């Protein structure tokens, strides 16, 4: 791709931040890379790792000074505070991205914190691993992954193009949508699944107590995946649920309706209706796979472990 | 282990049935193995495959005649019918297992269908893959997997010991519990997760229509796992939900309460309460991993793909 940014500043060197640092060097996307982290321990570790010979500085403002592109890679709950910290140091025309998984509320806070002459292009790369910290970063983390940009309405086309070029240089596939659509889409594809996984874990724990039996030990298909999701960082998810409150609660209400429809068919013993409901999911899943909606990453998709199904079927 | 069964009959040669055939030969668990399947196509395929030189016969009654152990490996909805088919052919003292994922209702139906001189030891091996049919069978499918036995109260200890020895010969770890406890445990560790996965798929589809946007395409952490679950066989899951109706509906009611607790904390913007709720899941998950409740199979567990988390955290 070649150089798409002059001076790149990356605030936060956890999994995503350090992956961006690695990916930017691997792609030679920037002429100069300056990074920082609120934690002195993390800054030391990044220096030790010598990731792509990035220059490590002490504060977000130091990193942002004179940068053409600043990427804020801190948890949702801290993004606006970082925007305030760097506001005075940013040069006119600088582009600022975050990488948070909630957009509307946080973007409004960032926009208010940043000078008018700075371009805000909020970003959400749909990528990650279950690990955290600078050692967990991977240069290819964004490769063939979606990165959703949610620029405010009057953002200059040049700033959006610059942000797009940057994420594409890291290997991501860019989609652009409104912050509200992003938050609604993610409320069903990410936030609700997490809320459910956390909840069902509580359900299983209560049943263990009541039956005085080790329920979870006998995890068959489904639950194992849920418990992996439920082991995600609680502080991070608290912030996500609270920052995306309305879409999450709306999606939850829709989900409640849908599960109610299934429950009514089970309660009525209506096998025909139940099978029709179950078949829709399967057919759609197949359609989705055909359209490669989900399997953007064939290599990783193939590495999925086998589903555990309760018994063989002859069909 | 050596021979633990004289004549073994396996009715149904789908994924589970053909895996049992393969595993029994690999372990030399039986002196003689006779198999059958309702589908002529499957019977032909098993003959072609020559799995462990099993003798392939036309009917379940032919297979069961004179057998010391009969394992019924057909979907939940057909188990009782097979028990009726073989009832007249079974010798006194024969042991009969099924492999269905619902026990109470089906076991009662089987018990009523079988002669009093035949021992019933219902079984549920917690093993499977997303594939079906005789080609999908694996000799090591049950290796280090739980197999739950739910013998009716007055079952002879010898019959239970014989069934246990057989499943252990296939590599499984045997647990014994009441049919009702089994059905309640599985309602939370398997049936509810499937019901949720099917439901959330409908939720996402409705949102795609309403927003005229490709919602599912942007699957982040969580949803991808759900869509895999939701691609399970609809007819099979119809039978499971209907056969285990009361436990499934009871567990669903508990789950509704738990998700309501989370929703109230989000609605109230109560970050402290929310984080406490989220932390319980994580701590318990850690405890469970330490106790090796879930990771009975380290090799497969390691093969799990990375979780997708929305951004890095510094902790």
pLDDT digits (tens, 9 = 90+) for B152-203: 999 999 999 999 999 999 999 999 999 999 999 999 999 999 999 899 988 9
* Reduced 3-state DSSP string for chain A: CCCCEEEEEEECCCHHHHHHHHHHHHCCCEEEEEEECCCHHHHHHHHHHCHHHCEECCCHHHHHCCCCEEEECCCHHHHHHHHHHHHCCCCCCCEEEECCCCCHHHHHHHHHHCCCCCEECCEEECCCCCCCCHHHCCCCCCCCCEEEECCCCCCCHHHHHHHHHHHHHCCCEEEECCHHHHHHHHHHHHHHHHHHHHHHHHHHHHHHHHHCCCCHHHCCCCHHHHHHHCCCCHHHHHHHHHHCHHHHHHHHHHHHHHHHHHHHHHHCCCHHHHHHHHHHHHHHHHHHHHCCCCCCCHHHHHCCCCCCCCCCCCC
| Nearest chain A alpha carbon to B175 | A218
Instruction: Tell me whether residues B305 and A303 touch, CB distance under 8 A.
Output: yes
pLDDT single digits (tens) B25-52: 999 999 999 999 999 999 999 999 988 8
| Nearest chain A alpha carbon to B217 | A293
Question: For residue B220, what pLDDT is reported?
Answer: 64
Contact list in B for residue A196 (CB cut-off 8 A) is: 196, 200, 259
Structure-derived torsion over alpha carbons of residues B287, B289, B292, B297, reported in degrees to the nearest 10 = 170
Mean pLDDT of chain B: 88
Instruction: Tell me whether residues B202 and A281 touch, CB distance under 8 A.
Output: yes
pLDDT single digits (tens) A239-261: 999 999 999 999 999 999 999 99
Instruction: Tell me whether residues A311 and B99 touch, CB distance under 8 A.
Output: yes
Mean pLDDT of chain A: 88
Residue A2 pLDDT grade (very low, low, confident, very high; cuts 50, 70, 90): confident
- Closest-CA distance, A303 to chain B, in angstroms, reads 7
Instruction: Tell me whether residues A311 and B75 touch, CB distance under 8 A.
Output: yes
Task: Provide mean pLDDT across the span A137-153.
Answer: 95
- In A, residues 151-210, which contact B (CB 8 Å cutoff)? 175, 177, 181, 184-186, 188-190, 192-207
| pLDDT of B303 higher than 80 | no
CB of A133 within 8 Å of a chain B CB? The answer is: yes
Among the partner-chain residues A184, A219, A266, the one whose CB lies closest to the CB of B211 is A184
Residue B282 pLDDT grade (very low, low, confident, very high; cuts 50, 70, 90): low
Instruction: Tell me whether residues A262 and B38 touch, CB distance under 8 A.
Output: no
Contact list in B for residue A42 (CB cut-off 8 A) is: 314
Question: For residue B178, what pLDDT is reported?
Answer: 95
pLDDT single digits (tens) A192-241: 999 998 999 889 888 988 888 888 888 765 677 777 777 778 899 999 99
Contact list in B for residue A193 (CB cut-off 8 A) is: 200, 221-223, 225-226
Question: For residue A52, what pLDDT is reported?
Answer: 82
Task: Provide mean pLDDT across the span B272-287.
Answer: 80
| pLDDT of B77 higher than 70 | yes
**What percent of chain A stands above pLDDT 90?**
71
| pLDDT of A283 higher than 90 | no
ipTM of the complex: 0.84
pLDDT single digits (tens) B244-278: 999 999 999 999 999 999 999 999 999 999 999 99
Contact list in B for residue A19 (CB cut-off 8 A) is: 312
Residue A262 pLDDT grade (very low, low, confident, very high; cuts 50, 70, 90): very high
Q: What's the pTM?
A: 0.84
Chain A / chain B CB contacts < 8 angstroms: 457
Sign of CA dihedral A13, A19, A25, A30: negative
| pLDDT of B122 higher than 50 | yes
Residue B205 pLDDT grade (very low, low, confident, very high; cuts 50, 70, 90): confident
CB of B41 within 8 Å of a chain A CB? The answer is: no
Question: For residue B280, what pLDDT is reported?
Answer: 82
Among A31-35, A290-294, B127-131, B160-164, the range scoring the smallest mean pLDDT is A290-294
Residue B302 pLDDT grade (very low, low, confident, very high; cuts 50, 70, 90): very low
| pLDDT of B312 higher than 80 | no
CB of B31 within 8 Å of a chain A CB? The answer is: no
- Closest-CA distance, B188 to chain A, in angstroms, reads 6
Question: For residue A226, what pLDDT is reported?
Answer: 76
- Closest-CA distance, A137 to chain B, in angstroms, reads 9
Task: Provide mean pLDDT across the span A72-96.
Answer: 97
Contact list in B for residue A220 (CB cut-off 8 A) is: 101, 126, 186, 189-190
Question: For residue A313, what pLDDT is reported?
Answer: 33
Residue B313 pLDDT grade (very low, low, confident, very high; cuts 50, 70, 90): very low
Question: For residue A284, what pLDDT is reported?
Answer: 66
Contact list in B for residue A284 (CB cut-off 8 A) is: 201, 205, 216
- Quote the crossing angle between the two packed helices B245-267 and A192-211, to the nearest 10°: 120
């Amino acid at each position: 791709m070649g150089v798409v940014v002059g001076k790149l500043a990356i605030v936060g060197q956890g999994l995503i931040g350090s992956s961006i640092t690695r990916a930017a060097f691997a792609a030679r996307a920037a002429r100069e890379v300056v990074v920082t982290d609120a934690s002195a321990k993390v800054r030391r570790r990044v220096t030790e790792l010598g990731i792509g010979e990035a220059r490590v500085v002490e504060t977000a403002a130091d990193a942002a000074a004179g940068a053409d592109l600043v990427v804020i890679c801190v948890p949702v709950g801290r993004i606006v505070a970082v925007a305030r910290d760097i506001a005075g140091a940013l040069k006119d025309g600088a582009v600022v991205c975050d990488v948070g998984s909630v957009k509307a509320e946080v973007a409004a806070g960032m926009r208010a914190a940043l000078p008018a002459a700075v371009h805000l292009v909020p970003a959400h790369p749909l990528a990650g691993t279950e690990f955290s910290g600078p050692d967990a970063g991977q240069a290819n983390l964004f490769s063939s992954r979606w990165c959703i940009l949610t620029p405010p309405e009057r953002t200059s086309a040049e700033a959006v193009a610059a942000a797009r070029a940057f994420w594409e240089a890291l290997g991501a596939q860019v989609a652009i949508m409104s912050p509200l659509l992003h938050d609604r889409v993610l409320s069903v594809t990410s936030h609700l699944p997490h809320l459910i996984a956390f909840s069902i874990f509580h359900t299983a724990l209560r049943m263990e107590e009541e039956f005085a039996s080790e329920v979870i030990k006998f995890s068959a298909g489904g639950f194992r995946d849920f418990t992996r999701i439920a082991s995600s960082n609680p502080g991070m998810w608290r912030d996500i649920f609270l920052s995306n409150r309305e879409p999450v609660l709306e999606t939850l209400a829709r989900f409640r309706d849908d599960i109610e429809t299934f429950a009514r068919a089970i309660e009525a013993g209506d096998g025909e209706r139940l099978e029709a409901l179950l078949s829709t999911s399967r057919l759609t899943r197949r359609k989705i796979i055909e359209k490669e909606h989900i399997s953007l990453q064939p290599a990783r998709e193939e590495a999925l472990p086998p589903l555990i199904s309760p018994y063989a079927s002859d069909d």
